[in-house]
Amino acid sequence: MSVLSRMAAAAGSHDVAALIDAVLSDPVRPASPDLFGAPPPAGAGALAQGPVTTGAFSAGPLSTGSFSAGAFSAGPTGLGTSAARVLIPQPPPAPAAPAVRPSMVPVPGGPTGLGTSGARVAERLRPDEAAAAPAAPATGTPPPEGVPTLYCPPAVRDDPALGEFVNERLVLWAQEVGIYPGHLDKVRSANFGRLMMLAHPESDDPERLLAAAKCGLSEWAVDDHIVDCEVEEPRHEVLGQRLAICHSVIDQAQLPLRYAPQLEEAVRADPVAMALRSSLDNLLGYASATQVRRLRHELAIMFVAYNQEGVWHTTGQRPPVWEYLMHRHENSFIPCMVLVDAIAGYEVPQEEFSDPRVRRAFNLAGTATVLMNDLYSMGKEDPTDFSLPMLIAAEEQCSMEEAVARSVEIHDELMHTFEAEASVLARTGSPQLARFLAGTWAWVGGNREWHAGSARYRTAD
């Protein structure tokens, strides 16, 4: 379901809406905010045996080789890296007298105001205490009996002023490039600026967060304008054609001189294509060419999934659960998550990012986040759309409550697997990889927090 359909759709049936509201308002975050706050879960070592394959995990040295504790202990340095040193694992400190943990509030005289929340993240837990501190207990009060709790970490930081600033800039940009005409009030209330602030806690730079937000909104505009057609009249018969034109700016098509102006005319007539071009051009000011290429690759994968969804729309097919899960592997938050290092101002080595074991773990987290999105979306009813609980209920002939519980189990399986495998990978790869995996964990926690408060999912709105 697209951005606007979730906001405009009527509330689901009373029982389902009440259940989803309970899941949505559940304050419990049972996972530790620190991906490396405890040793890998029991059994993680068993995953490390055997050769690398596309379907199994092996924790042998990555292509860059293993790193020593001495090399890792230094961690990232320089401007803007203090928050990162909170996220990545550190070697245990030398024995010393017990230290008093700093307050969870900013220290007196510390930085305040817009753009300083990342510095306050660093104040919460000194870098040299990161490995020694026990994993945080689950936060919040458990929900009523029968309401499943999603396994997810809490958000690392919440800076409402920063999120609001980014959100207003994002709405202005959407108006400038021409996407969501007549619907900008809904874009504003969805508060994607807040999503980027929560999901990228390593950066306080509004321009970097806005760069991520522009990329995200242009990607979702493809869905809202072309696939689910919440902004334009449905024309699924030309879905592939429009996606191809949009993709011509993602991976710039090179036509003979005689025909290039005609393609350019078609691109300029499509606000979605222009938004994609604008966002990617802007991103080049904050990311390396390799990081932008990563995003272009992920968008190509997402476009394949959009074509698959178009087949479902035009033929009236109801996909089996296995096919839908494959679809969600390709149509997830991965294009947003792939910018974790770029927005934080560093770069994970390409040979590590492309390692099948890293790719597997990263994609597990991406699929988990979009399945959580499915659960929250059930609060809004749209009979033409699919979600994991809906398909499980139809395929297994069970109640919607049972389907929701099964969906939560699937989500939690993916999250636990990512947690175990990422913890092992971080100890066999570079410091940048460890930071990237920790940043992915923080992204997941921030995304969960945004879902809990966004008007996009509230049934009361």
> Would you list the DSSP string of 222-283?
IIIIIIS-SSS---GGGHHHHHHHHHHHHTT----TTTHHHHHHHHHT-HHHHHHHHHHHHH
Are the CB atoms for 101 and 134 separated by under 8 Å? no
Q: CB count, 10 Å around CB of 160?
A: 12
By C-alpha distance, which of 249, 241, 296 is closest to 277? 249
Q: What pLDDT was estimated at residue 79?
A: 37
Among 171-180, 222-231, 284-293, which is the least confidently predicted range? 222-231
12-26, 50-64, 147-161: range with highest mean pLDDT: 147-161
Please compute the mean of the pLDDT values over residues 15-39 and round it to a whole number: 64
* pLDDT of res. 58: 52
Q: Which residues are bridge partners to 29 per DSSP? A: 139
Among 402, 383, 335, residue whose Cα is nearest residue 19: 402
The residue whose two tokens read 């294509």 is: 273
Residue 125 is predicted with a pLDDT of 29
Highest mean pLDDT of the ranges 27-31, 107-111, 377-381: 27-31
Average pLDDT over residues 405-426: 95
Task: For residue 391, give both structure tokens.
Answer: 């398909």
Give residue 5's pLDDT band: very low, low, confident or very high (50, 70, 90).
low
pLDDT band at 25 (very low <50, low <70, confident <90, very high): low
d(CA 31, CA 25): 17
Share of residues in the chain with pLDDT > 70 (%): 65
| Residue 419 identity (one-letter amino acid) | E
Q: Is residue 317 within 8 Å of 311, Cβ to Cβ? A: yes
Whether pLDDT at 48 is above 80 = no
How far is Cα 372 from Cα 451, in angstroms, rounded to an integer?
A: 9
Burial of 61 (0-12, 13-18, 19+ CB in 10 A): exposed
C-alpha 287/C-alpha 275 separation (Å) is 18
pTM: 0.76
Are 105 and 112 spatial neighbours (Cβ–Cβ below 8 Å)?
Answer: no
Tell me which amino acid residue 29 is: R
φ, ψ (nearest 5 deg) of residue 11 = -65, 150
405 is written with which tokens? 């519980």
pLDDT classification of 123: cutoffs 50, 70, 90: very low
- DSSP string for residues in 60-91: S--TT----HHHHHH---STT-HHHHHHS--P
Work out the pLDDT band at 384, boundaries 50, 70, 90.
low
Q: Is the pLDDT of residue 10 over 50?
A: no
Name the pLDDT band for 15 (thresholds 50, 70, 90).
Answer: low
Mean pLDDT to the nearest integer, 1-24: 55
Number of C-beta neighbours around residue 348 at 10 A: 25
Q: Name the 3-class secondary structure at 29.
A: strand
Q: Count of residues for the chain? A: 461
Q: Which residues contact 19 (CB under 8 A, 6 or more apart)?
A: 147, 400, 401, 404
The pLDDT value given to residue 81: 38
pLDDT tops 60 at residue 2: no
Q: What 8-state DSSP symbol labels residue 182? A: T
pLDDT of residue 40: 38
Q: Which helix (H) or strand (E) holds 101?
A: none
Mean pLDDT taken over the chain: 77
Q: What's the first-to-final CA gap in the chain, in angstroms? A: 17
> Does the structure show a pLDDT above 50 at 130?
no
pLDDT band at 24 (very low <50, low <70, confident <90, very high): low
Q: Which residue, 419, 414, 318, 299, is CA-closest to 40? A: 419
pLDDT at 237: 76
State mean pLDDT over 163-168.
98
What tokens appear for 349 in the block?
A: 């080595």
Alpha helices, DSSP H only, in 39-190? Answer: 44-47, 69-74, 82-87, 117-124, 160-177, 184-190
Listed residue (185, 212, 184) closest to 196, CA to CA: 212
119 pLDDT exceeds 60?
Answer: no
HSE, CB side, 13 Å, CA atoms: give it for residue 172: 7
pLDDT at 172 > cutoff 50 = yes
The two tokens of residue 132 are 């020694």
Name every residue whose Cβ is closer than 8 Å to that of residue 361 and which is 6 or more positions away in sequence.
57, 417, 418, 421, 422, 425, 437
Kindly state the tokens that stand for 227: 């696939």
Max avg pLDDT among 5-14, 67-76, 171-180, 451-460: 171-180
pLDDT classification of 314: cutoffs 50, 70, 90: confident
Q: What is d(CA 35, CA 340) in angstroms, rounded to the nearest whole number?
A: 15
Give the separation between CA 282 and CA 195, rounded to whole angstroms.
19
